[in-house]
Structure 1
């Protein structure tokens, strides 16, 4: 098997006085979309933040392209080719859509061809190009957050609950955008509570509980096993169609 793009080995993480991750083992196959599932408080968001160097790692190892990046500062991790879309989106509310994307294009002016590709994914961003981000709808803000992460080519995209609080029509638009990213063989780690959305996109899946990964495998296999879903998640994916 090919070497995974990213590998977490026995990763522990602390937030203040709280010990959140208790030895996470996780591999992200190159060119695949991996969904991270689990009950609230299982450690999913902390796992993404830990990859980005935003939490303390007293034990364990985070590898990216075979290199140990544990303890790297967040800017260095971002420059290595990893983009992060946090649950709060992380956009600059007082800046326009254009200014938000200009800031995200760290290597220089935005590539015009790349920008047109982003507009193809999220046409609303072209319409509201000069609008302050704070005046966008919730769905448009999420589109801008993802666009910021992909305005330059990235090797790994981390996305935390992109559909939270969004209308079904916007969720469908996001699903189409992620499918196009998959078609381009982007490597994506997606935390998601919308199980129908997760099942439609996921190729591989990892399930967390109490700060550990308790199951890893193909999404198709999990989607077909109601008993396993009930055991790992306390519900059936089929109930969320």
Structure 2
């Protein structure tokens, strides 16, 4: 059993349904996140991608189906318990405290309040701007720098799974390229990543596997490379061609 758990997917969703008030948002979401790679969660606006992430994290409760993390059913677990189990979540709205310094933001993200200096040096190599603004209030950072801080907060301690919602939204091309470099470097560590992304150059550059959603359902799963090579499938699933987003 332990061997199967160590080699099976780090995350599995099976038939997940979610209601928010009177609205039925997810109608049966099923996909897996393999260990040690990047799984892209793609779909048109309103397909249910963010709801899926929030359901995984327990911020919204699934009304049916199961969410399994590292062999354990976490469908009914609280958000703090899910985070404690080894999942870090970076929401779309940049999870930073504007009135606190960059240093204080990072210390709050460390569960013990103490930051491992070697790991901090590693984070600084990926995000040198954070070292520059270390004692500055996070509110003075640019949008791209705040997004860097959001990701840095999530990885300041080792995690088994990193869930990120649209990290390049609204960012300049140069910052997007830096994010691609960061996620490629993260792939060299032991963390598994589930990434919602609308920038398809980013998706193609870092994704290993992909799940595509439409109208609250999973409509396609496979490798990112296969989707990137099939323009007709891209048009069918996403209504666009990746070739137009190079």
- Deviation at residue 71 of structure 1 after TM alignment: 1.3
TM-score, normalized by length of structure 2?
Answer: 0.96
SS at match of 1:9: strand
> Is the aligned partner of 1:236 residue 2:244?
no
**Of the candidates 27, 31, 50, which is equivalent to residue 26 of structure 1?**
31
Give ranges in structure 2 of 5+ residues lacking alignment: none
Q: Distance in 1 between matches of 2:72 and 2:31?
A: 15
Say whether residues 1:121 and 2:152 are aligned partners: no
| Equivalence for 1:84 | 89
Distance 1:40 1:112 in 2: 40
Q: CA RMSD in A?
A: 1.0
Which sections of structure 1, spanning at least 5 residues, go unmatched?
none
Match of 1:207 in 2: 212
Query: Partners of 2:244 and 2:148 in 1: how far apart?
Result: 27
Partner of residue 46, structure 2: 41
Distance (Å, rounded) in 2 between the aligned partners of 1:224 and 1:168: 23
For 1:102-141, what aligned pairs fall within 5 Å after superposition?
102-141=107-146
Aligned pair partner of 1:226 in 225, 231, 235: 231
Q: 2:102 aligns with which of 84, 87, 97?
A: 97
**In the alignment, what sits opposite 1:186?**
191
Q: How far did residue 157 of structure 1 move?
A: 0.2
Confirm or deny: 8 A CA contact 2:61 2:75 kept in the other structure: no
Q: Are 1:177 and 2:182 counterparts?
A: yes
**TM-score normalized by the length of structure 1:** 0.98
How many aligned positions are there? 241
Runs of 4+ in 1 over 2 A off after TM superposition: none
Which runs of structure 2 are paired with 1:136-155 in the superposition (5 Å)? Answer: 136-155=141-160
1:58 and 1:219 map into 2 onto residues whose CA distance is: 30
Give the secondary structure class of the aligned counterpart of 2:176. helix
